[in-house]
């Protein structure tokens, strides 16, 4: 079974409170999503392998650690996942970015795929799938199905807010995937919105309605 990490870091909790508030406007919402994604990436990269190299400081020779050069990929689920990409790329500038376009059919709440563009060496990369919201879990499950179908093997999923229903569904569908969540909320409402949540992440991020 994959691991589930729910963050209790004060900076993440503080920033989440502000993005949840209904009066928070698009500019601040975007900045905070970016910052939370950076903080989450810091934790989600904790197991990256290191190599030891020899360097020379102004004082002496020493052995010191560098990243081993593992190839990483970031795959946002469109649209709202885009808001998390830059915050992660800041820490991992060599990562390649793929895109998976999915929207939730408002009637059935089932995800509909409309776009897929991935790095050509997807089979060799460790992949971070990112989306601010894990509600029913349908979008995340479908995005990961799509990646696995194309040969992706090692996948982590990062989201800001999850509903217990979505978390359970994702764990059952993809038990090999580690899941990183900034906050685990109470439930879904009858329209498939996370309660208390933050509303429609894509609309708040891009100022649409
Ligand atoms: C939102 C969100 C997730 C999905 C989560 O996207 O960004 O992708 O809903 O819901 P689920 O877990 O029930 O699938 P939406 O479909 O609203 O599309 P958008 O990002 O284009 O606004
Ligand atoms: N998608 C969102 O953007 N918000 C929710 O609460 C659920 C799905």
Tell me how far the alpha carbon of residue 196 lies from the centroid of ligand 1, in angstroms: 16
Regarding an ipTM greater than 0.90, the answer is yes
pTM above 0.90, yes or no: yes
Of the two residues 111 and 104, the one the predictor is more confident about is 111
Asked if pLDDT for residue 97 goes beyond 90, the answer is yes
Task: Give the model's confidence band at 3: pLDDT under 50 very low, under 70 low, under 90 confident, else very high.
Answer: very high
pLDDT, position 69: 84
Average pLDDT over residues 86-96: 96
Residues classed as catalytic: 104, 108, 200, 203
Q: Which listed ligand is nearest to 131 at the C-alpha?
A: 1
Tell me how far the alpha carbon of residue 148 lies from the centroid of ligand 2, in angstroms: 24
Asked if pLDDT for residue 199 goes beyond 90, the answer is yes
Average pLDDT over residues 39-51: 95
Residue appearing with tokens 């885009």: 82
pLDDT in tens, 13-42: 999 999 999 999 999 999 999 999 999 999
Q: Which listed ligand is nearest to 102 at the C-alpha?
A: 1
Query: What are the E-state strand segments in 68-206?
Result: 72-78, 96-97, 99-104, 111-117, 126-130, 133-134, 154-162, 178-184, 187-188, 194-195
């Amino acid at each position: 079974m994959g691991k589930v990490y729910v963050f209790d870091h004060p900076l993440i909790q503080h920033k989440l409170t502000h993005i949840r508030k209904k009066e928070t406007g698009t500019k601040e919402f975007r900045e905070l999503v970016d910052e939370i994604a950076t903080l989450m990436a810091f934790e989600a990269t904790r197991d990256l392998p290191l190599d030891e190299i020899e360097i020379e400081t102004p004082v002496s020779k020493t052995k010191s650690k560098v990243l081993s050069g593992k190839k990483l990929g970031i795959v946002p689920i469109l649209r709202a996942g885009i808001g998390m990409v830059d915050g992660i790329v800041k820490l991992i500038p060599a990562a390649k970015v793929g895109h998976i376009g999915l929207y939730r059919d408002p009637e059935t709440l089932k995800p509909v795929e409309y776009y897929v563009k991935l790095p050509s060496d997807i089979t060799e990369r460790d992949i971070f799938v990112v989306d601010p919201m894990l509600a029913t879990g349908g979008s995340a499950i479908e995005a990961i199905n799509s990646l696995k179908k194309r040969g992706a093997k090692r996948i982590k999923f990062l989201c800001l807010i999850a509903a217990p229903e979505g978390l359970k569904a994702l764990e059952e569908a993809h038990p090999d995937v580690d899941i990183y969540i900034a906050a685990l909320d109470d439930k879904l409402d009858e329209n498939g919105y996370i309660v208390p949540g933050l509303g429609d992440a894509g609309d708040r991020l891009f100022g649409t309605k």
